[in-house]
Structure 1
Amino acid sequence: MNIYWFLPTFGDGHYLGTSIGARPPSFSYLRQIAEAAEDLGYGGVLVPSGRSCEDSWAVASALSQVTRRLKFLVALRPGTVTPTVAARMANTINRISGGRLLLNVVAGGDPDELAGDGVFLPHDERYAQAAEFIKVWRRLQAGERVDYDGQHVKVRGAELYLFPEEAPEPVEPSLWAGGSSEAGHQFIAEHVDVYLSWGEPIAAVAEKITDVKRRASAAGRTLRFGLRMQTVVRRTEAEAWAAAENLLAHVDDAAIRQAQEALARFDSEGQKRMVALHRGSRERLEVAPNLWAGFGLVRGGVGAALVGSAENAAARLKEYADLGIDYFILSGLPHLEEAYRFAELVLPLLGKQSKRERSIYATMGAMGRA
């Protein structure tokens, strides 16, 4: 398994749906999380994008200079930048980071936010736009001089002079994407390298993986798979479920109604699936063994959390891995503390050691031989 963490560039805190105990996304705090993630053994971090977030490209660029191995999965929105400009930006970050940039292609799910960024396309056309974007992107990265006259993307004489192959570790930034609609699955099958699903019950995730694999096979391609979910992990089941309930300590029914009304305008199929897990009710939040939908009551995006003891959390992750999930991108509140909890409690059960543990064990071994 490849375990990644998350950078909360829109703010962090101890509770959902309130400013009580909130932490702003200062650079010093984001740096703490990035350095902790690297030290604890996470392979990378997801850097989100949106109108409430700090710019993902700027954050990744800055934090790449205070880390050595950590990878940065940065959101790329095809409707807000040309493929040529995006390729130059990506290749620059890839070079200065030593080949540690990954890209998450986001078609967007909130029409209001998209309109604020100048994107007015309906749902399926945004995936068509993303497909044209990636076609040009791939040709540019292959060293071509590109003329392209598509419905959504038009370039003439587009080319790059500096390529990712010139990075210390030659690698083109791999392309990831999420999506739960038919249009999303088809785009992913034809154009990206890693399909990233939000956390859902095992059977639902298996169904999506099967569909994307079938579409990819028809296109002569193979993909890798990732899962994005929240975590609330403690030493015992009782502690974990109490901690999950405490996240909603300052959320009343009015706040839930307001959040659900805002989420209802989204045209994202993934967001609709998150809402369907709980339907706005506190009474049906445990939707599968150790899977809790409480995050989705008051916020958009991934709304399901892995809740339970370290042993049960590891067992559930292994079940998802058996479906073919290669990457797990996790998060929890507050992100700094939860990164430590998950690393210390669960990573050893998955056969992983942090940099700190490897150093300690190596030192102990050396002392034993002395």
Structure 2
Amino acid sequence: MEVLWFFPTGGDGRYLGTTYGGREIDLPYLKQLAGAVDSLGYHGALLPTGQNCEDAWIIASSLLTDTEKMKFLVALRPGLMSPTLAARMASTFDRLSNGRLLLNVVTGSDPREHAADGIHLDHTGRYKLTDEFLEVWRNLMKGEQVDYKGKHLTIKGAKNTFPPIQQPYPPLYFGGSSDIGQQVGAKHADVYLTWGEPPEKVKEKIDKVRNLANQQGRNITFGIRLHVIVRETEKEAWQAADELIKFLDDETIAAAQQRFSKQESEGQKGMVALHQGKKENLEISPNLWAGVGLVREGAGTALVGDPKTVAERLIEYQGLGIDTFILSGYPHLEEAYRTAELLFPLLPIKKDPALK
């Protein structure tokens, strides 16, 4: 398996839903985190995207010279950037980093954020634009001259002058739980991502997307986005989970759930359905805890337990077809060390022969 970590460019701290114990996200802190990821054996790290995060491309570029091995999983945003500009950006970053770029295709889910960014397409329209964007982008990255006319994009005589190090292009990661999202992902993605749902739901999604990819003559791999709360004993781990949400009151949870209800993401709806906005019965599957999703959008579940138990759960997901694990924990610097020290010796982590 490949294990990546997460850069909390929208904020970090010891507790969810409160500014108490919060931590400023500045360049010195991000350099500390990048140094940990680079030295501890992580494959790389995901940099989130959106109005509440620092810009992923600028953060990743700022950390290149402070790292040697880690890869940066950075967002492509159809609708916010043209495929030709995105191809130039990706090629430049890949060349300057000596092949350390991974790309996360983010179609987006919040209508208010899209409107603020000047995107006025509905859910289906955004995925159709994403399909056209990736068609153009992939051909450009393969060195082709592109002339393209679709419903959303018209491209004439485009060429990507400087090719990337990784051929034909840096790997494309893609998440989308709706039918059209899965169809577009199966057509273009190298790694299809899901959030941390119970294993039976993850298997169902993997089987469907794999079948869609096979219908197009493509092979695709799978990844999962999870938090981890691992401690030396099971008791300590569950105590740490309780500590993480100890400042959450009903009003804070209700306000967060109200925000989430306005999103169009099927994945986000699935996260909300796991806990229904309630602090009771948050263990939705053995050692899978939905407490993070009470106030955090996106990935809302954590594996909780001692090292042996959490490793077994991760390997269970691997048995379903998951090869890539994007993990995180609060606060991210300390938990990057804890996860590597306690879990890595128990996991079959892939070593990249190209990285010395």
**TM range, normalised to the smaller chain?**
over 0.9
Deviation of the 1:25 alpha carbon: 1.3
> Are 2:210 and 1:213 aligned?
yes
1:52 counterpart residue number? 52
Q: Secondary structure at the residue paired with 2:192?
A: strand
**Cα deviation code 1:155-191 (max 9, x no counterpart):** 1111111111xx3x65621111001111111011111
Deviations 1:227-280 (A, max 9, x none): 101111101111000000111111100000000001000000000000000001
Identify the residue that residue 103 of structure 1 maps to in structure 2. Answer: 103
1:282 aligns with 2:279: yes
Contact 2:114 2:120 in 1 (8 A): yes
SS in 2 for 1:48: coil
Partner of 1:90: 90
- Indicate the SS of the match to 1:280: coil
SS of corresponding position for 1:176: strand
- Residues 201 and 291 of structure 1 are in contact (CA less than 8 Å); yes or no, is this contact kept in structure 2? yes
CA shift, 1:61, in A, is 1.1
Kindly provide the amino acid, as one letter, of the partner of residue 203 in structure 1: E
- Paired residues in the alignment total 353
Maintained 8 Å contact 1:45/1:329: yes
- CA distance in 2: counterparts of 1:343 and 1:145, whole angstroms: 44
Match of 1:242 among 229, 239, 243: 239
Alpha-carbon shift at residue 200 of structure 1 (Å) = 0.5
The match for 1:183 among 180, 185, 190 is 180
Structure 2 residue aligned with 1:200: 197
Question: What is the one-letter code of the residue matched to 1:307?
Answer: V
Q: Distance in 1 between matches of 2:222 and 2:238?
A: 28
The aligned runs of 1:1-370 (5 Å cut-off) are 1-164=1-164, 167=165, 172-351=169-348
Q: What stretches of structure 2 of length at least 5 have no aligned partner?
A: 352-356
- Structure 2 counterpart SS, 1:282: coil
How many angstroms apart in 1 are the aligned matches of 2:223 and 2:350? 21
The TM-score with structure 2 as length reference comes to 0.97
Percent identical among aligned pairs is 54
Distance 1:325 1:136 in 2: 28
Contact 1:282 1:294 (C-alpha < 8 Å) held by counterparts: yes
**Partner SS state of residue 227, structure 1:** strand
What is the deviation of 1:4?
Answer: 0.5
Amino acid at match of 1:113: E
Q: Distance in 2 between matches of 1:294 and 1:279?
A: 11
TM-superposition CA deviations, 1:62-99 (whole Å, max 9, x none) = 11221111001101111101000011011111111001
SS of structure 2 residue aligned to 1:113 = helix
Answer whether contact 2:226 2:299 (CA < 8 A) is retained: yes
Secondary structure of the residue aligned to 1:104 is: strand
CA RMSD of aligned residues (A): 1.6
Q: Contact 2:142/2:168 (CA < 8 Å) preserved in 1?
A: no
**How far 1:192 sits from its partner (Å)?**
1.1
Q: Closer, same or farther in 2 for the Cα pair 1:351/1:190, shift >3 Å?
A: closer
* Higher deviation after alignment, 154-163 or 339-348: 154-163
SS in 2 for 1:103: strand
Is the 1:41–1:353 contact (alpha carbons within 8 Å) kept by the matching residues of 2?
no
CA distance in structure 2 between the partners assigned to 1:177 and 1:351 by the alignment: 24
**In structure 1, how many angstroms separate the alpha carbons of the residues matched to 2:61 and 2:274?**
36
Q: Deviations over 1:323-356 (max 9, x none)?
A: 11110000000000111111111110114599xx
Structure 1 letter corresponding to 2:147: D
Aligned structure 1 segments of 4 or more residues deviating by more than 4 angstroms: 351-354
**What stretches of structure 1 of length at least 5 have no aligned partner?**
355-370
Does the 8 A contact of 1:99 with 1:170 survive in 2?
Answer: no
- C-alpha contact 2:187 2:216 (8 A) present in aligned 1: yes
Matching residue's letter, 1:278:
H
Distance 1:108 1:150 in 2: 21
Give the whole-Å Cα distance in 1 for the aligned partners of 2:223 and 2:92. Answer: 26
CA distance in 2, matches of 1:252, 1:210: 39
Partner Cα separation in structure 2 for residue 348 and residue 123 of structure 1: 42
Query: Which structure's CA Rg is the greater one?
Result: 1
1:5-35 C-alpha deviation (Å, 9 max, x unpaired): 0011111000001111111210111111111
Matched letter for residue 147 of structure 1 = D
Give the Cα separation in 2 of the matches to 1:203 and 1:119. 35
